[in-house]
Structure 1
Amino acid sequence: MISIDEAFSKLDGVDFPLKETAVSLMNASHCVLSETVLSPINMPPFRQSNMDGFALSLHEALVYEIVGEVKAGDSKSIDLKPGQAVKIFTGAAIPNSAQAVIQIEKVSTKDNQLFLQETVLHETNIRPLGSQIQQNDIALEKGTFLNPAAIGFLAGLGFTSVNVYQKPTVAIITTGNELVAAGQPLAHGQVYESNGIMLQTALHNSHFNQVKMYQMSDDFENTKSTLKQAIDDNDIVVVSGGISVGDYDFVYHALQSLNVETLFYKVNQKPGKPLLVGKLNDKMIFALPGNPAASLTCFYIYVLPTLQKFSGMKTSYKTTIQKNLANDYAVDNTRDQFLKATISNDEVTILSHQDSSMLDSFALANALVYLKNGDYTMLKGDKVAVYLL
């Protein structure tokens, strides 16, 4: 059995393969750029009005002659003489003969005359050509995470597709003869299968959507064949259950028979002690405990950062923040703990029902508090390490 830090270190030592692919801009959200992108145009591509008002060909007086109007999208050219103005709207192209824009709140009009309340300086309320970015300048660097603003920025530069790191395909395998699909009659000794949909939902919420579901029985040959198929067809395999030491837990030996390299098996943590992480060529295998809360905890702590690294994201297995504890909490454990918790008003409250089989408190949690093993008491207001969910 290894420590959590040792488990993190072994995962950090894995060389995660990065595959590149071209995707439409609509499908690029939450991906990572695999190349640096240069701007094909100046942005804005013309001198642009910063607000609704009047574009002025400046002269010394505060009275101007209004000679026309320019709306956003107009391509007409108007040649202004000094002392002339055109009504203009936000985003419209400013005539080359205009030197400033005065906002509509600072003027009055009568017939075709414009009366200013104050003098206007050159370039007032004008977005210069290429003021956001100039043609052939770097728009976004390789390795940039594409959030909605980045997608909008690229769209504004005229991009319809980009090259990104391909997200991994994921297999979820649930195990256990006792499992019954929801909606079916429940016989004595059976339970409804929940880990599969739970993990699939966690993947989708984290924007990993290429997921295949598998079910295997408590039988060595079926376990082996299902694992082989899942490993052959996917980049990352997540098994829920069958990894402990019971007579019908076949996952460990099946993985050995498939020549999967075990990076580590069993971690000094609670919940999630019987966790196995393995590797076969460029494929990663995570065998999670079958207890639901333990399975989901291991997903957030170990699986999700690995998925992000496979996708080119800059992430860490130790990405925690410090929060003040809302109440005293007594620790009496020989294993490090990940405790379901909620953050509110900048304080973190450790919830009840911490058993590895219980999801009711996990359903309310938005964080996991990490506490080292030992016999001690954390006091209200003490700083604790928190994983955000």
Structure 2
Amino acid sequence: MISVSEAKNLIDQNIKTLSPTKFPIQECCGHILAEDVFALCDIPAFQQSSMDGYAIRFEDRLNPLTLIGEMAAGTTMRLKIGKGQTTRIFTGAALPEGADTVVMQEKVTLQDGDINILDTQLIPGAHVRAIGAEIKASALAIKHGHLLNAAAIGFLAGIGISEVVVYPMPEVSIIITGKEFCPPGKTLEFGQVYESNSYTLKAALTQAGIFNIKILYAADDLKILQETLVIALQQSDAVLLTGGVSVGDYDYVALAAAQSGVRKIFHKVKQKPGKPLYFGLHTSTPIFGLPGNPSSVLSCFYNYVLPALSKMANKDYPLKKTEATLTEAYQKPSGLTHFLKGFYQDGMVKPLYAQESFRLSSFAQANCMICLNEHQENFKENEIVVILLLPE
């Protein structure tokens, strides 16, 4: 077995970022931009009103002005005002030629087709967005390496960009091994358990912004598992298997991986839960063999799989590592790193009940994992420990 730190380093050394790909911007939220993006033109491309009101020449503000028309947002007709004239104008509309200022509609009186301006604080250019106020033509809009959030997508759309080059999210296949599973909603027969690992992993992947997920099932049969793994490798950037990675008579993952051309990087880590964790490569495609117990699956996902998938998408590992004070003492044997389900609040962390690897109930209540180092046995109340904050 290798240590947790050795396992994490080996994964990091062997994971490659996926090649950048061009996508429509509506598919790019959560992706990392792989190029600098520049504005195609001035935005706005015309002088634009930021208010409902009247477009005027500032020099005419003290005199009655004759109303000669209106400019609504989206109007492509060009108007021109001369001395002593004004147009009704609405938010987002282009100013008529000759106008340089907008008066709020609340600051005028209208009588017999003329307006009188009541705004004594009016300044030149009031309520007018200048050409290029958002961005100038050819200016840098968003820099390479930026995480595209909702505002960034809207900004790109607003400056006329319809597609960009980003680092893609990995496509992931999940292989559930075993014959003891029953789908949720069905009645259990003797010896069966409900299959939950595919639901857990799909939810965790979706929460990480990965949506291209395929779920496959393979019985505890070497030939079937090997054939299923080949299919998964052909359709995915990463493959996750659950179960079949220990040393039982029906644990075929390591052998099926070897027969499929997978190069083993490591198998078994000095940790609890998740000791039988397997990691290998098929060319550059990572394969993770996760233990079958539900708590082990999620613990290994957050500690090993999610950092790898994040690197493939050129993203930072999304979970925050910090320190907290233990609310109670905890004892464990030396030689294994322990990942405990915990609840963190106001700098304090409490180990939860039900720490066994087959139990997911405490994980459902946890907001962190407590990371207890391999060599230490006794942890005292009020001792400072490292925790990993889970996604909300």
Aligned: 1:379 with 2:378 = no
Partner of 2:259: 257
TM-score if structure 2 supplies the norm length?
Answer: 0.87
**1:354 paired residue number:** 355
How far apart are residue 37 of structure 1 and its match? 2.3
Deviation, structure 1 residue 218: 2.0
Map 1:206-355; keep pairs closer than 5 Å. 206-311=208-313, 313-316=314-317, 319-322=319-322, 324-325=324-325, 328-333=327-332, 334=334, 335-342=336-343, 349-355=350-356
Deviations 1:249-298 (A, max 9, x none): 12123323334222222223322222111112111000111110110121
* Structure 2 residue identity aligned to 1:379: N
How many Å separate the matches in 2 of 1:55 and 1:343? 58
Deviation at 1:63, TM superposition (A): 4.3
Q: Distance in 2 between matches of 1:347 and 1:87?
A: 61
Amino acid at match of 2:284: D
Structure 1 stretch displaced more, 74-83 or 1-10: 74-83
**1:53 corresponds to:** 53
How many residues align? The count is 385
Give the match's secondary structure for 1:59: helix
Residue 137 of structure 1: CA displacement? 2.0
What is the CA distance between 1:58 and its match in structure 2? 1.0
| 2:22 matches 1:22 | yes
Do 2:60 and 2:83's aligned partners in 1 also have CA atoms closer than 8 Å?
Answer: no
Cα distance 1:310–1:66, how it changes in 2: closer, same or farther (>3 A)? farther
* C-alpha displacement of 1:60: 6.9
Alpha-carbon separation, structure 2, partners of 1:220 and 1:150: 48
Deviations 1:59-102, CA, capped at 9 Å, x for gaps:
27544415232221122333233554333222111234222223
Residue of structure 2 equivalent to 1:137 = 139
SS at match of 2:317: coil
- Taking the TM superposition and a 5 Å limit, the aligned residue runs for 1:186-197 are 186-197=188-199
Between the aligned residues of both structures, percent identity stands at: 37
SS in 2 for 1:368: strand
For the aligned residue pairs, the C-alpha RMSD in angstroms reads 2.7
Cα distance in 1 between the residues matched to 2:34 and 2:253: 36
Q: 1:222 to 1:113 in 2, by over 3 A?
A: closer
Q: Give the partner amino acid of 2:364.
A: A
Structure 1 residues 324 and 232, CA, compared in 2 at 3 Å: closer, same or farther?
same
Per the alignment, do residues 352 and 161 of structure 1 end up closer, same or farther by CA in structure 2, a change over 3 Å counting?
same
Q: For 2:40 and 2:105, how far apart are their aligned partners in 1?
A: 34
Distance 1:147 1:137, change over 3 A: same
CA, structure 1 residues 217+106, in 2 after alignment: closer, same or farther (shift >3 Å)?
same
What do the CA deviations read for 1:132-173 (whole angstroms, capped 9, x no partner)? Answer: 112222222333332222221222222333333333221111
Code of the aligned partner of 1:294: S
Distance 1:346 1:48 in 2: 51
State how 1:58-207 maps to structure 2 within 5 Å: 58-59=58-59, 62-67=62-67, 68-111=69-112, 112-207=114-209
Tell me how far apart the structure 2 counterparts of residues 64 and 264 of structure 1 sit (CA, whole Å): 85
Instruction: Give a deviation string over 1:175-219, Cα, whole Å, max 9, x none.
Output: 123222334442322212111222122223323222222222223
Deviations 1:1-21 (A, max 9, x none): 222222222222125142343
Report the more deviating stretch, 37-46 or 329-338.
329-338
Assess, with a 3 A threshold, how the Cα gap between structure 1 residues 80 and 341 changes in structure 2: closer, same or farther. Answer: farther
Which residues of structure 2 form unaligned runs of 5+? Answer: none
